[in-house]
């Protein structure tokens, strides 16, 4: 029995309404009015975009903008590669996320014009948005609007906060949105004409969209999917199935396969980096889609509604615009389709939209069309001007003004309040390091802003990787063996995890005493062989944010207090050679330690010994008690022996970093003494990297000089 197509078949003709005919000159007077209003809106938008254009800071999800900018910076340096670098998670430096079309364009513009990376990224974003507006205008024509009515909808779109703000960000959003808009126009045109040119446009634009950002392409696929299903319902009775099947095969399965191919390739590249495993697509499933519980939780949609209000439209304006669109017979289905596309994608990628308001860039246009299409069709209604174009035009002007007001009262304030210059920390890093150096950071997350602004490759170690995948971090540290790593930065949780820091000190041969503390928050360590040079440079830099540890200044023997006969007598049960000067922060303590008498040398301790003239070596033994290693606050200590001569210039004999990571390990050393006169041996015991000396204690068990060279001469680490 023959059955009539259901209501879904009505969707098949949603984009088949003929647009109003233009005048022989191309545009009617009404179209000219609409174009003038669009130009006025564009000018206002460009004026807002120009505010802060030259700023180095990137307001609005700076983490993601800095990640993109860092990739652009690398492309400009290394050239166009599919496995482009984002040097923030160590070696190998490639952790490709999206296909780098946007990065290539921005790097090319920066190279060609000599502009800075941030400004080049903003230019490409603005250009892509404007190009996408043309596609949206053509789509509006395709659904039956006149040019003038379409210009009005575009004006509302331009003034919408998410487009006014993020179209000038260093993000891939506008590039993906532009490609998706041209994809949708190509699909609509192909459905109407079955012309191969339109299919080719849809394929090329869809390929760009799915490679650059598949979640944005997916938004364009939602209305197309409804139309495709509607076509299928209509074709049950009669029609040519070939275009319908081509859409499914080429635009559906074909583009999905292309997107899957890129994700597989990107995952393969990312898998080469031990630390970057958390960025592989299989690890991001929950982050991308969220949980089923999250999707049905009312609080989730309350958060999303807050994003809608701040980034798209106020509730009152939305309700009024949708009411007009849903009342109109011609616009009801279009408005419903726009709302479904807007909300449906958030139901799929729920967590992404909750966590990042800029994701609304992909789907906000559908909601804008939904609440403004009613006024646009009202503009095109036949009849007297005061019945159609005057009230409809006034409504569009009010909508546009409302959108601009919302933008200026919310997101635009972030631009006005952002500083023109970046933090001074990146400049300090550039001052202290060379362009080819690598910086290691324990700073909570892997925020790329520092790597980008410092223009240095970095290994940023997220706290989560240390808690759950410490072995992978060790693998990545090992990959840096052939690199120069002169600095390590520590902030947040890592400063409460001394074992992480002491492990890095051993692995990277860092000085255990911090080089500086930045803004009372970031502790900076330097490689031992560059510490003295960097410390001298730091003391010449006048920045209020810098505080320099005072306990690592070179102590001259002349500055140490001479030990009294009573103190020397107290020391004598532990040592054969008695120091002549020194500093005991906790007093003189001698105790039985592991079977023999020993002298406590608790950080910070300095002891000065006179070296007999004929001495060629010194034998020393010291130990940190085994129970100390179990203390959480024990962050290691440094034991040094320095030889001072009559020129008051020290020679380092031993630098021993005792780390809590290594466990109980008594030291028994024989140190060679260079020839010279009037020599003095200085023992220095320094606290661990965070200067928490409660358990930073060692016990000196032996110290005696020998007139003979020892074949067993050893040195500490």
Each residue's pLDDT tens digit, 521-568: 999 999 988 998 999 899 899 888 998 875 444 456 777 889 999 999
| pLDDT tier, 5 (very low <50, low <70, confident <90, very high otherwise) | very low
Q: Up-side HSE of residue 565: CA atoms within 13 Å toward CB?
A: 0
| pLDDT tier, 20 (very low <50, low <70, confident <90, very high otherwise) | low
Count Cβ atoms below 10 Å from residue 159 Cβ, excluding itself. 25
The predicted model scores a pTM of: 0.83
**Cβ proximity of 139 and 184 under 8 Å:** yes
For Cα atoms 344, 349, 351, give the angle at the middle one, nearest 5 degrees. 125
> Judging by DSSP bridges, how do beta strands 605-610 and 438-442 pair with one another?
unpaired
Mean pLDDT of 439-467: 94
Question: What are the tens digits of pLDDT across the range 202-242?
Answer: 999 999 999 999 999 999 999 988 888 888 887 777 677 78
Round to the nearest angstrom and report the end-to-end CA distance of the chain: 91
Question: Which sign, positive or negative, has the C-alpha torsion 165, 51, 399, 209?
Answer: negative
pLDDT of residue 2: 37
Q: Up-side HSE of residue 698: CA atoms within 13 Å toward CB?
A: 33
**Bond from prior residue into 92 cis (ω within 30 degrees of 0):** yes
Q: 42: closest CA among 156, 182, 198, 194? A: 156
pLDDT of residue 167: 96
Question: What are the tens digits of pLDDT across the range 566-601?
Answer: 999 999 999 989 999 998 888 899 999 888 999 999
| pLDDT tier, 130 (very low <50, low <70, confident <90, very high otherwise) | very high
d(CA 140, CA 355): 31
**Cβ proximity of 45 and 161 under 8 Å:** no
Surface-to-core class of residue 286, CB atoms within 10 Å of its CB (0-12 exposed, 13-18 middle, 19+ buried): exposed
Phi and psi torsions of 653, nearest 5°: -95, -35
Count Cβ atoms below 10 Å from residue 43 Cβ, excluding itself. 10
Alpha-helical segments (H) within 455-497: 463-468, 470-479
Question: Which sign, positive or negative, has the C-alpha torsion 380, 381, 384, 385?
Answer: negative
Mean pLDDT of 629-638: 84
The tokens of 272 are what? 């080469």
The tokens of 170 are what? 């260093």
* Model confidence at 255: pLDDT above 90: yes
* Model confidence at 711: pLDDT above 50: no
pLDDT of residue 12: 59
Long-range contacts: 259-268, Cβ < 8 Å, 24+?
259/210, 259/211, 259/214, 259/217, 262/99, 262/210, 262/211, 263/214, 265/82, 265/96, 266/96, 266/97
DSSP structural state of residue 253: I
477-510 b/e (C-beta count within 10 Å ≥ 16 → b): bebbeeeebbbbbbbebbbebbbbbbbbbebbeb
d(CA 461, CA 456): 15
Three-state secondary-structure class, residue 251: helix
Q: 603: closest CA among 677, 711, 513, 543? A: 513
> Span 557-706: which CATH code?
2.60.120.1060
**E strand or H helix at 5:** none
* Model confidence at 305: pLDDT above 50: yes
SS (H, E, C) 638-692: EEEEEEECCCCCCEEEEEEEECCCCCCCCEEEEEECCCCCCCEEEEEEECCCCCC
pLDDT of residue 552: 47
d(CA 513, CA 289): 45
> Regarding predicted confidence, which is higher, 334 or 657?
334
Q: What is the mean pLDDT of the chain?
A: 89
The tokens of 449 are what? 């802003």
**Cβ proximity of 669 and 620 under 8 Å:** yes
* Model confidence at 495: pLDDT above 90: no
d(CA 714, CA 682): 18
Surface-to-core class of residue 417, CB atoms within 10 Å of its CB (0-12 exposed, 13-18 middle, 19+ buried): exposed
| pLDDT tier, 66 (very low <50, low <70, confident <90, very high otherwise) | very high
pLDDT of residue 21: 56
* Model confidence at 394: pLDDT above 90: yes
| pLDDT tier, 491 (very low <50, low <70, confident <90, very high otherwise) | very high
> Regarding predicted confidence, which is higher, 642 or 216?
216
Question: Which sign, positive or negative, has the C-alpha torsion 31, 37, 39, 42?
Answer: negative
> Regarding predicted confidence, which is higher, 451 or 17?
451
Question: What are the tens digits of pLDDT across the range 85-126?
Answer: 999 999 999 999 999 999 999 999 999 999 999 999 999 999
Q: What does the domain layout of the chain look like in residue ranges?
A: 24-416, 425-547, 557-706
High-pLDDT (> 70) share of the chain, %: 93
pLDDT of residue 70: 97
> Regarding predicted confidence, which is higher, 510 or 16?
510
């Amino acid at each position: 029995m023959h059955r009539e197509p259901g209501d879904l078949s009505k969707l098949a003709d949603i984009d088949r309404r003929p647009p109003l005919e233009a005048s022989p000159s191309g545009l009617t007077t009404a179209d000219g009015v609409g174009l003038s209003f669009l130009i006025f809106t564009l000018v206002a938008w460009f004026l807002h975009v120009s505010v802060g254009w030259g700023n180095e800071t990137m307001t609005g999800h700076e983490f993601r903008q800095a990640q993109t900018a860092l990739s652009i910076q690398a492309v400009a340096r290394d050239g166009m590669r599919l496995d482009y670098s984002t040097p923030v998670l160590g070696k190998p430096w490639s952790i490709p996320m999206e296909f780098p079309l946007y990065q290539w364009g921005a790097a090319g513009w920066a190279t060609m014009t000599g502009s800075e990376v941030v400004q080049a990224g903003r230019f490409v974003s603005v250009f892509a948005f404007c190009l996408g507006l043309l596609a949206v205008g053509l789509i509006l024509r395709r659904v039956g609007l006149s040019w003038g009515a379409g210009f009005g909808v575009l004006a509302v779109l331009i003034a919408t906060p998410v487009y006014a703000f993020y179209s000038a960000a260093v993000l891939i959003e506008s590039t993906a949105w532009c490609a998706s808009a041209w994809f949708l126009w190509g699909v609509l045109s192909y459905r109407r004409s079955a012309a191969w040119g339109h299919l080719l446009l849809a394929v090329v634009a869809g390929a760009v969209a799915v490679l650059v950002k598949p979640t944005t392409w997916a938004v364009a696929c939602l209305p197309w999917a409804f139309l495709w299903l509607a076509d299928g319902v209509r074709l049950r009775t009669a029609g040519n199935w070939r275009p319908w099947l081509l859409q499914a095969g080429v635009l559906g399965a074909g583009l999905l396969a292309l997107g899957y191919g890129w994700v597989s390739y990107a995952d393969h590249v990312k898998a080469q980096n031990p630390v970057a495993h958390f960025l592989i697509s299989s690890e991001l499933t929950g982050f991308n889609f969220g949980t089923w519980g999250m999707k049905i939780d009312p609080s989730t949609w309350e958060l999303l509604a807050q994003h809608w209000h701040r980034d798209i439209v106020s509730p009152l304006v939305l309700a009024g615009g949708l009411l007009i669109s849903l009342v109109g017979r011609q616009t009801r289905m279009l408005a419903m389709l726009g709302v479904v596309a807007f909300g449906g994608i958030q139901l799929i990628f729920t967590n992404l939209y909750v966590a990042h308001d800029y994701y609304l860039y992909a789907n906000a246009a559908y909601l804008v069309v939904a609440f403004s299409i009613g006024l646009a069709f009202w503009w095109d209604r036949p009849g007297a001007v005061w019945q159609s174009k005057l009230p409809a035009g006034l409504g569009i002007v009010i909508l546009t003004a409302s959108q601009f007001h919302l933008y200026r009262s919310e997101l635009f304030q972030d631009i006005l309040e952002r500083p023109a210059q970046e933090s001074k920390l990146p400049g300090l890093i550039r001052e202290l390091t060379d362009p080819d150096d690598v910086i290691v950071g324990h700073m909570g997350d892997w925020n790329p802003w520092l790597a980008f602004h410092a223009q240095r490759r970095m290994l940023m170690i997220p706290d989560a990787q240390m808690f759950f995948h410490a072995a992978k971090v060790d693998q990545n540290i090992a990959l840096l063996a052939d690199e120069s790593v002169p600095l390590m930065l520590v902030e947040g949780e890592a400063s409460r995890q001394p074992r992480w820091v002491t492990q890095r000190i051993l692995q990277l041969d860092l000085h255990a005493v911090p080089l500086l503390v930045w803004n009372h928050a970031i502790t900076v360590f330097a490689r031992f062989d560059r510490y003295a040079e960097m410390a001298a440079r730091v003391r010449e830099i006048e920045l209020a944010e810098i505080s320099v540890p005072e306990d690592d200044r070179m102590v001259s023997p002349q500055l140490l207090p001479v030990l009294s006969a009573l103190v020397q007598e107290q020391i004598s049960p532990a040592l054969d050679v008695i120091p002549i000067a020194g500093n005991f922060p906790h007093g003189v303590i001698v105790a039985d330690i592991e079977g023999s008498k020993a002298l406590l040398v608790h950080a910070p301790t300095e002891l000065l010994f006179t070296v007999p003239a004929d001495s060629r070596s010194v034998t020393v033994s010291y130990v940190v008690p085994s129970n100390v290693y179990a203390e959480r606050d024990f962050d290691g200590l440094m034991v040094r022996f320095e030889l001072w001569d009559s020129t008051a210039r020290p020679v380092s004999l031993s630098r021993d970093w005792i780390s809590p990571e290594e466990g109980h390990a008594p030291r028994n050393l024989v140190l060679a003494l260079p020839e010279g006169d009037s020599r003095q041996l200085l023992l220095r015991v320094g606290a661990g990297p965070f200067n928490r000396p409660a358990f930073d204690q060692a016990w000196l068990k032996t110290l005696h000089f020998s007139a003979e060279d020892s074949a067993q001469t050893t040195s500490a680490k």
